[in-house]
Amino acid sequence: MNVITNWFRLLLGNPQLVILVFTLVLGLCAVLWVGNMVAPILASVIIAYLLDGLANPLRRLRIPRFVGIVVVYLGFLALLAFIVFAIVPILSQQATQLVSQIPGMLAELRDVLMRLPHRYPEFISESQVNQIAGAIGYEAMTLGRGMVTASVSSVFGVITLGIYLVLMPLLVFFMLKDKDRLIAWVIGFLPRDHRLLAHVWTDVHRQLGNYVRGKIIEILVVWVATYFTFAVFGLDFAVLLSFLVGVSVLIPYVGAIAVTIPVAIVAYVQWGIGPDFAYLMLAYLAVQVLDGNVLVPLLFSEVVNMHPIAIIAAVLVFGGLWGFWGIFFAIPLGILIQSVLHAWPRREQIVDETS
């Protein structure tokens, strides 16, 4: 017990650690308590942070800061308009069509399962197939109820989305324009000496900015490559499925496995087990292999130095805590924790600083 007491005494005696821990706890509490209410502000901060990084090359070309911000911001508005008016309607249409066909797909999958005991009685029994078929039927009923609930709440979702589309671009512009004033305002609340906190932020900024921009490039490249692959083979729902494949790179290891299931199901329902199905899955596998062995090392060789175990643990922990958004931000949060652990003084350093 004395060991723990002495350890806490040493930590509390180091003002840099106190500032770091207090800032992290305060930020966590703010996100947990008012995160839903200030979600547009948090999203705008993230977008402004990314756009500011894109404006840096323009500054190195001696282009005035305000002009660079306007150029990047107009590009952002153009991309947002393209996504909202060109991509989203196609994704929505294909998602609606796919959802309407899911019960038929599940029924066909059930028929396939019911034939397995006759073909491979030594591997699977009829009782096992009945259990699997019952689970499939239950999931189909759950999906139907979810579709009804979603249709009722879709009106409120459209209203919320409309508000976001108006507020967020304005917030992003003013955050870009007044970046220095906002940062100075935040720093004004910190103690004059906050070396450890500044060190952590520098490390997070270096890794996180490069990681997020690299992920955006990876998503676009994988999305486009997968779409052309699916389009060449004439796969149904090519835009939607390729979009899911592109977004799946946000979830290391798990995402690629999870998104393969709907791709394989749609291909099987469309063609059955045959040459077209085999060639498509081989081409899809080739895209995944090229992504993991060529694109990822090229984009992230100097960015995130996290062990695969740490990455999987971050996905499991934060996904369990906050669901989809926890999975979405698992790697950035893992980068933050890793930077804090790297900057955390060892016992000998604490003793030297407090003595």
pLDDT reported for residue 24: 80
pLDDT reported for residue 155: 44
Domain boundaries, the chain: 33-188, 195-349
Q: Is residue 69 scored above 80 in pLDDT?
A: yes
pLDDT tens per residue across span 243-268: 999 988 877 767 788 889 889 988 98
pLDDT tens per residue across span 277-302: 999 999 999 998 888 888 877 776 55
pLDDT reported for residue 34: 67
Confidence band (pLDDT; 50, 70, 90) for 49? confident
Output 210 or 247, whichever has higher pLDDT.
Answer: 247
Indicate the pTM of the whole model: 0.72
Highest mean pLDDT among 125-139, 294-308, 332-346: 332-346
Instruction: Report H helices in the chain.
Output: 2-12, 15-34, 39-60, 65-82, 88-119, 126-177, 179-187, 195-233, 238-247, 254-271, 275-290, 296-300, 308-328, 330-343, 347-354
Mean pLDDT of the region 310-337: 75
Measured in whole angstroms, how far is the alpha carbon of residue 187 from the centre of its chain?
29
C-alpha dist (Å) from residue 257 to 62, 167, 244: 46, 36, 12
Question: Alpha-carbon torsion 317, 319, 322, 327, what sign?
Answer: positive
Tokens 């139907």 label which residue? 144
Tokens 């270096």 label which residue? 206
Residue 100's Cβ-count burial label (10 Å; 0-12, 13-18, 19+) is exposed
**Cα–Cα distance for residue pair 122/130, rounded to 1 Å:** 16
Confidence band (pLDDT; 50, 70, 90) for 128? confident
Measured in whole angstroms, how far is the alpha carbon of residue 70 from the centre of its chain?
27
**Cα–Cα distance for residue pair 48/174, rounded to 1 Å:** 9
Q: Is residue 344 scored above 80 in pLDDT?
A: no
Q: Is residue 111 scored above 70 in pLDDT?
A: yes
| Residues 6 or more apart whose Cβ sits within 8 Å of residue 110 | 133, 136, 137
When mean pLDDT is compared across 70-74, 114-118, 172-176, 225-229, the lowest value belongs to 114-118
Highest mean pLDDT among 3-12, 62-71, 113-122: 62-71
pLDDT reported for residue 2: 63
pLDDT reported for residue 149: 52
Amino acid at residue number 28: L
Mean pLDDT of the region 266-280: 89
pLDDT reported for residue 281: 93
